[in-house]
Structure 1
């Protein structure tokens, strides 16, 4: 697991997440992940909605319970085991399901062609541009980005570079290219850059053109 980054207030970014087939739910996500999983937080109203949307009889899905002062994630058993007990943070939001729930960022853009291209490229192997060069693929939703994958940037002469670029372009998806020691650092740099660029936008605002694939951004110092 990559070393975690500081969880200061400005490390949270606007997002929208889904849980299995439930949602989407407005959220903020941290700029880094835990074991590849996004880390969201929610207002009290949204946390209560998520709890209401998660029926106790769903097989294999932890039960989410909203109490007067906490969100609890419950596991199987009688009585059920409390996997997580989450109280509001200093911003009054609930950051729960980190490591216990399969959150995913929501996008209305179909990423399947890009996902297949990335799986094929990684399965066959490709020479990277450098070991610290990263691509952050995402769907551009104006005021927020939905990160799809962070992977080492292929060398521009490698077939994988063109295949991935074409899959992103034809699907209406975006990507940043940057340098960083770790994938988490590259993702944080991308979220910071996007947030600065779109700081004045509100949900629902239309942006055109969206970020183009292979847009270069500067490395983000830590």
Structure 2
């Protein structure tokens, strides 16, 4: 069990060999079709749309959280309540106690109303070293492991066909409807959305096998997608999150909800 380690880096040489997924380099459409729009996160940006979500670190979690449109090397940058921070602390400390050599492990500790990230002791007699002290943000939430841990949004939908179609389209110079038209594809859980990819919108031609297969995969797997006009993939995703948050604000997370948006549902990018 090694979920809450940072990805491999010079600062964590013993971390699990599971670094962030890297984009495959290639000419042509690869440069214009990011699967996950990513920017260097500015966690204090007031323009971020924070939505409720569930996240996990491999087999630790899932934990209730809020996520925004920003990612770190493709991984989520969640924030948590103090109560959830205590649950993460218990899990990461328990995982550290089960390691033969926890020297590269980081665990969470809640001290009063603050959260500490500590590097685990090399031996039982050594004192743990505090790597970072986290204060609550303006909303009273804690950004645990943002920009360093491999947090993933929980997605237990069977989206393998859709994911494969996204990969195929990413590598294909397929016909698009326009340079500023985007398709934001996501697993729709009613109260939360899990991004699968953002690509230029494909021409709606049922005679084209690529479009037909992409639509069928989404429909079969109950995957949703928004189509909209935006200046970039990142702006398209931000607009999709704003629309989703406004439309789904009243849905109970405990309710069983079928996807409310079907493939290629048109939305207003200025909403």
Return the TM-score normalized by structure 1.
Answer: 0.85
Match of 1:115 in 2: 163
Q: Structure 1 residues 8-17 or 181-190, which shifts more?
A: 8-17
Q: Deviations over 1:61-80 (max 9, x none)?
A: 74222231223164898987
Q: Map 1:73-152 onto structure 2 (within 5 A).
A: 74=119, 84-152=132-200
Match of 1:197 in 2: 247
Q: Deviations over 1:40-82 (max 9, x none)?
A: 1001111121222221228897422223122316489898776
1:154 partnered with 2:202: yes
Q: Deviations over 1:114-137 (max 9, x none)?
A: 111211222333233222222111
Q: How many residues were matched structurally?
A: 221
Larger Rg: 1 or 2?
2
1:220 partnered with 2:270: yes
Match of 1:71 in 2: 116
Kindly state the Cα deviation for residue 144 of structure 1 after the two structures are TM-superposed: 1.5
Contact in 2 for aligned 1:47/1:71 (Cα 8 Å): no
What's the RMSD between the two structures over aligned residues? Answer: 2.9
1:42 partnered with 2:92: no
Could you tell me which runs of 5 or more consecutive residues in structure 2 were left unpaired when the two chains were aligned. Answer: 1-37
Kindly state the Cα deviation for residue 190 of structure 1 after the two structures are TM-superposed: 1.0
Structure 1 runs of 4+ aligned residues shifted over 6 Å read 58-61, 75-81
Name the SS of the counterpart of 1:130 in structure 2. coil
Name the SS of the counterpart of 1:70 in structure 2. strand
Contact in 1 for aligned 2:54/2:62 (Cα 8 Å): yes
Q: Deviations over 1:136-195 (max 9, x none)?
A: 111111221122222222222454332221111111111111121222211111111111
| CA 216–204 in structure 1, closer or farther in 2 if over 3 Å, else same | same
Contact in 1 for aligned 2:224/2:259 (Cα 8 Å): no
Kindly state the Cα deviation for residue 10 of structure 1 after the two structures are TM-superposed: 6.7
Return the TM-score normalized by structure 2.
Answer: 0.71
Name the SS of the counterpart of 1:11 in structure 2. coil
